[in-house]
Structure 1
Amino acid sequence: MKYLLVFCLFVAGVLAKHEIYDGHAVYQVDVTSMDQVKLVHDFENDLMLDVWSDAIPGRPGKVLVPKFKREIFENFLKQSGVQYKLEVENIKEQLELEDQLLAAAAAKSNSSRSRLSFDTIHNYEAVDAYLQELAKEFPNVVTVVEGGKSFEGRSIKYLRISTTNFQDASKPVVMMQSLLHSREWVTLPATLYAIQKLVIDVTESDLINNIDWIILPVANPDGYVHTFNGGRLWSKNRATGYMIANFCVGVDLNSNFDVNWGTASSSNVCSDIFHGRSAFSEPETCVIRDIIAEHRNRMSLFLDIHSFGSMILYGYGNGVLPSNALLLHLLGVQMAQAIDRVKWSTNKDYIVGNSFHVLNSASGIASDYAMQAAAPFSYTYELPANRNNSSWLLEGFLVDPHFIEQAGFETWEGIKLGARAAAAAAKELKKVSAV
């Protein structure tokens, strides 16, 4: 009865929460040539649509279109000879379904003092408290660090996980983060699962004995909080002051890093890929920059966890390959294979490649900056949209509770393989340098 009451109260409170998305539709767009790719991409940008995934030949894209732009969008595609399919008539209904599924899971949650459950998505406050609690419970391994404050003044906390308190300069450093794009909720279980396997349920001690870890679960606190308060599909931070009367707010944090900044993003603050007034104009990206700078001499691997698409991508976003591109690709393939071995059979295999050639041009992204500044192995993970035999109701960024633990478990298989390989490569490089 208690669970039923909690569930009913939650559902009653969220019925009107998603009104801003009423009538928004999700389209699948199929292109057959690079000319169509550019045509569709430019039109989507001009219409300031929410592109969930870019369409390229052989792989359809997804785009969210507001109700009042749907006719314009459909007419353009018809006139341009581009094939499309209406996948979701009204995304608001799916948002309400997600709320109901997660509320039911939360009502039955078995979260305990020293861990967060993997049957629901936890809010910023719960994660923040969890990090501090871990540091108290495991003081010989875990240190919680406040890297700075977000635009709205929230703490940006990360964990340093180390058996030597980061004092052993011979140990490589692995850094990973999630929720740089705030709506990508399924990325949080990946960092929380890694924390669990490194601190609470330690079954592979070499990962903690031989490597120092930095894990930042909520890289965009303000945006993440906003996604719980009616802006579920919000991806940027919540910075104001870019336009008169703050008509549009927020910067795409994954376009705000100082690597090819501003070359493949938008100067329009209303765009989802608005890059800000300058590189590192946002406090959230400055925190990440400073962490990377502090550990640049030891950082062997950087992972920025995103969704969706089942991809492991490496730089650079302008198509220029780094000098170690072959090694990057080989390790990416190995990580992908590790995930594919344990993924749900109904999910597609991971794609590995340079982000420009797999997706599209991009600039100012975190993993490119980390590679340029510190980490010889740096990747963007794009986790799958949740899919299994019974869960085809939720699209794109929306999360079915049944996939949450699986997302953490399968991603961890790739992470730990990558960490070991990157750490070994870093040690070999030191030996060569010492000769």
Structure 2
Amino acid sequence: MRSIIFFTIYVSFALCKDYSNYKVFEIMPTRQQLDSLMKWEFEAGIDFWSTGEANKPSRVMVSPEIEQLFLQFLNLNDIQHKMTIENVELVLENDKIARLNSRAKRNTFIEPNFRLYWSYNEIENFLQRLANEYPDLVKKDVIGQSIEHRNIHGVRVSRNAEFGKNPIIFIDAGTHAREWAGIHSALYFLHQLVENSTVTNELLDKVDYVFVPVVNPDGYAYSFTEDRLWRKNRRYVNYTCQGIDLNRNYAYMWRYRENSCAGTGYPGAYALSEPETQAMAAYMQSFKYNFKLYLSTHTYGSLVLWPFGFEFIYVKNHKEHHLMGEKFRDAIYEATGTLYRVGNSADILYTANGASDDFALAYANANFAYTLELPGGGSAGFDYPQSMIYDLVRETFIGYRQFGLHIKERFN
């Protein structure tokens, strides 16, 4: 058995993208320096692990090919920085060995096991089991198919025979392939909502829920087997680059970025060019008659962000957005000591066009919309160690629950 485990580890390493000599730098830009720094988001070989924020550390992975040019830029602009990871490949190898060994010790996968990261097939099986075992609560939809023809699953949860009579909360995750912790946090909340009668009675009393746990199934599957740090979908663009950043591809205030296809933030050739965003846009808009809250779950940064993000323009009900975000923040802080920051996306971070939360508010008639950036973990940030994931999903549940209670009170 031990030889089989090591053979599996060897083969999986051989198949994966090699990040040898990729480095990670912690960068502390001022507000004036931030805009010029974020232009590197569209450069090949540059990968922002934590989203840029003025006067706070940003973590950026840099390929060996562009390292000297990037360092010249930092030095010429007097941007404070330091190297935090000298060789990304070593970090990924250690993490993968730990995950595979943990799987080997639990040689039978008993769902739901939230101490492990699940493959996409395991996620699909979990969703189907919920639909089969709880037909009065759960309805599973195939809302579309990805570039590689995987099903994109939506799940509706309601006590009513007619879905949507109650205020609707819509939760998604997995827009960015590598953000596994966000996916499993959404799945854990779905599990509690359906399979924990106390939570069911409390939160489904006067609220209906929609989940899309994996918006980007191709990217997620690819990050599981080929490239742990893959972010985009799997669209073939040309021989030099592949993939669209789905959270830059929504129709509201979409913006074309010339010569950016090799970067991690490439928004595509036109708005809603991707089957994943087309499916999501149609699914969101199908609930616009009673759409109260949209939550898009990402990693990482410990942030609760409200619209708009495309420009320094606040949504009309920004004060109520902020107060509800503070309830999420305070509930988690009181329970675990983890502190989130609440604020406008553009203010806290930087402007970004074509994001899903802006779309939900502007085109799907949501009353409230947030992007949640969960905390980072381990030396790689979004690469949350499997050994810590159970604590994180339970912590995030506290925040999701607080949102549910607020919507229940606010609209009833």
TM-score normalised over the length of structure 2:
0.94
Q: CA deviation at 1:38?
A: 2.6
Question: What is the rounded CA distance, in whole Å, between the counterparts of 1:275 and 1:44 in structure 2?
Answer: 11
Mean alpha-carbon deviation: is it higher for 226-235 or for 375-384? 226-235
Question: What is the rounded CA distance, in whole Å, between the counterparts of 1:164 and 1:191 in structure 2?
Answer: 22
Q: CA deviation at 1:426?
A: 2.7
Q: What SS class does the counterpart of residue 41 from structure 1 fall into?
A: helix
Query: Which of 119, 124, 136 in structure 1 is aligned with 2:132?
Result: 136
- RMSD of aligned Cα (Å): 2.0
> Larger relative contact order (C-alpha < 8 A, sep ≥ 6)?
2
Q: 1:106 to 1:229 in 2, by over 3 A?
A: same
Question: Where do 1:280-319 residues align within 5 Å?
Answer: 280-317=272-309, 318-319=311-312
Q: 1:94 to 1:164 in 2, by over 3 A?
A: same
Deviations 1:321-356 (A, max 9, x none): 11110000000011111122233x5x5x10000000
Q: CA deviation at 1:267?
A: 5.7
Match of 1:365?
Answer: 355
Q: 1:169 to 1:87 in 2, by over 3 A?
A: closer
Q: 1:46 to 1:225 in 2, by over 3 A?
A: closer
Question: What is the rounded CA distance, in whole Å, between the counterparts of 2:278 and 2:342 in structure 1?
Answer: 28
Query: Which of 386, 394, 409 in structure 1 is aligned with 2:394?
Result: 409
Q: CA deviation at 1:376?
A: 0.7
Query: Which of 269, 275, 300 in structure 1 is aligned with 2:261?
Result: 269
Q: 1:405 to 1:181 in 2, by over 3 A?
A: same
Q: 1:298 to 1:5 in 2, by over 3 A?
A: farther
Q: CA deviation at 1:54?
A: 4.0
Q: What SS class does the counterpart of residue 218 from structure 1 fall into?
A: coil
Match of 1:35?
Answer: 32
Q: Which amino acid aligns with 1:132?
A: Q
Q: Is the 8 A contact 1:7 1:100 kept in 2?
A: no
Match of 1:337?
Answer: 330
Question: What is the rounded CA distance, in whole Å, between the counterparts of 2:380 and 2:157 in structure 1?
Answer: 35
Question: Where do 1:15-414 residues align within 5 Å?
Answer: 15-31=13-29, 33-43=30-40, 45-46=42-43, 49-109=46-106, 115-165=111-161, 167=162, 169-204=164-199, 205-240=201-236, 242-243=237-238, 246-262=239-255, 268-317=260-309, 318-343=311-336, 345=337, 347=338, 349-372=339-362, 373-386=364-377, 392=378, 394-414=379-399
Q: CA deviation at 1:425?
A: 2.2
Q: Is the 8 A contact 1:301 1:419 kept in 2?
A: no
Q: CA deviation at 1:10?
A: 3.1
Q: What SS class does the counterpart of residue 327 from structure 1 fall into?
A: helix
Deviations 1:14-55 (A, max 9, x none): 333444311111001122x32322332235545651112244
Q: What SS class does the counterpart of residue 53 from structure 1 fall into?
A: coil
* Alignment size in residue pairs: 409
Question: What is the rounded CA distance, in whole Å, between the counterparts of 1:107 and 1:266 in structure 2?
Answer: 46
Q: What SS class does the counterpart of residue 253 from structure 2 fall into?
A: coil
Q: What SS class does the counterpart of residue 58 from structure 1 fall into?
A: coil
Q: What SS class does the counterpart of residue 100 from structure 1 fall into?
A: helix
Q: Is the 8 A contact 2:44 2:262 kept in 1?
A: no
Q: Is the 8 A contact 1:252 1:275 kept in 2?
A: yes
Question: What is the rounded CA distance, in whole Å, between the counterparts of 2:138 and 2:40 in structure 1?
Answer: 48
Question: What is the rounded CA distance, in whole Å, between the counterparts of 1:251 and 1:44 in structure 2?
Answer: 13
Match of 1:430?
Answer: none
Q: Is the 8 A contact 1:41 1:54 kept in 2?
A: no
Q: Is the 8 A contact 1:267 1:276 kept in 2?
A: no
Q: CA deviation at 1:80?
A: 2.3
Q: Is the 8 A contact 1:14 1:99 kept in 2?
A: no
Q: Is the 8 A contact 1:106 1:119 kept in 2?
A: no
Between the aligned residues of both structures, percent identity stands at: 28
Q: CA deviation at 1:266?
A: 5.9
Q: Which amino acid aligns with 1:104?
A: N
Q: CA deviation at 1:251?
A: 0.8
Q: Is the 8 A contact 1:207 1:416 kept in 2?
A: yes
Q: Is the 8 A contact 1:292 1:370 kept in 2?
A: yes
Question: What is the rounded CA distance, in whole Å, between the counterparts of 1:208 and 1:267 in structure 2?
Answer: 47
TM-score normalised over the length of structure 1:
0.89
Q: Which amino acid aligns with 1:253?
A: L
Q: Which runs of 5+ in 2 are unaligned?
A: none
Question: What is the rounded CA distance, in whole Å, between the counterparts of 2:207 and 2:332 in structure 1?
Answer: 21
Q: Is the 8 A contact 1:238 1:251 kept in 2?
A: yes
Match of 1:419?
Answer: 404
Q: What SS class does the counterpart of residue 341 from structure 1 fall into?
A: helix
Question: What is the rounded CA distance, in whole Å, between the counterparts of 1:410 and 1:171 in structure 2?
Answer: 26
Q: 1:419 to 1:124 in 2, by over 3 A?
A: same
